[in-house]
Amino acid sequence: MTTIAVSDLTQATLGGTGIFDVLMRANAAHLESEFAKGRIKGPEYSTVYLGTLTQVMQTSLQLLLSKEKTDLEAQVLQQQLLQLQAQTALVTQQKANAVLEGAVLVATECKLRAEFDLLQSTNLKAVQETALLAQKAATERAQITALGVDDNSVVGRQKQLYSAQTSGFTRDAEQKAAKVMVDTWNVRRTTDPDSAAADSTNNLNDAAVGRAVNKLLSGVGA
């Protein structure tokens, strides 16, 4: 704020540049003009001069005070303008921060969703792998045990096939043994009826042959 000095009011000279000095010169010029025209008489001059002097002094003071007030108001307005600019800058920055934070939140949400989807996929894959391992374990176990395998499964059917093949080998052996016994008895019986005695020692009697034949028939399901 500009400080008001006495020189702003008057420089105490007739040619001064203070407000009072300038106004008094203008006032004196008017008084001289009126006096020269005879509108103001000699005795009245001093009275009019003193009145205008007082009025000019009051006006000068009011002008200086108004200037000081205007200066103060201008400073207040300047401070308010600076504050408004600072508040505007703060609000602008807050908006920018809010936009940035919003973008960060959106990015974080996307990341969390992607991580969740990955976890879900990983979990599903783990479940599938666990089920596959369990199935492999059951398959491996089925190789050495008859438990835990469905008859209509591939392993179950293979085991049935192996069992049937094993049974077939046994039946084949039984058939061949029975055939040997029957053929031997038949040859001996045909060539030498007397020497082809069938008894409990050679097991070629009717009872032994009958048991072999019955075993053969049983093997083929007859």
Query: Is the overall model pTM greater than 0.75, yes or no?
Result: no
Work out the pLDDT band at 54, boundaries 50, 70, 90: very high
Is a pLDDT exceeding 80 seen at residue 17?
yes
Percent of the chain with pLDDT over 90: 25
Mean pLDDT of the chain: 82
Which pair of tokens denotes residue 35? 């006096």
Q: Per residue, what are the HEC states of 132-144?
A: HHHHHHHHHHHCC
Q: Which among 112-116, 131-135, 190-194 has the top mean pLDDT?
A: 112-116
Is a pLDDT exceeding 70 seen at residue 48?
yes
What is the mean predicted confidence (pLDDT) over 15-20? 88
Closest CA to 31 of 21, 19, 44, 18: 44
Domain ranges of the chain: 6-110, 154-219
In b/e form, how buried is each residue of 24-46, taking b as 16+ CB within 10 angstroms?
beebeeebeeebeeeebeeeeee
Least confident piece of the model among 60-74, 148-162, 205-219: 148-162
Evaluate whether 219 touches 174 at the Cβ level (below 8 Å).
Answer: yes
The separation between the first and the last C-alpha atoms of the chain, rounded to the nearest angstrom, is: 131
- Which residue is listed with tokens 């005070």? 65
CA–CA gap between residue 71 and residue 8 (Å, rounded)? 14
Which pair of tokens denotes residue 124? 């599903």
**What is the residue type of 170?**
T
The per-residue pLDDT for range 200-222, each reduced to its tens digit, is 677 777 777 778 778 777 776 76
What is the mean predicted confidence (pLDDT) over 61-84? 87
Q: Which among 56-65, 186-195, 207-216 has the top mean pLDDT?
A: 56-65
Which pair of tokens denotes residue 102? 């919003």
Evaluate whether 219 touches 170 at the Cβ level (below 8 Å).
Answer: yes
Work out the pLDDT band at 145, boundaries 50, 70, 90: low
pLDDT at 165: 80
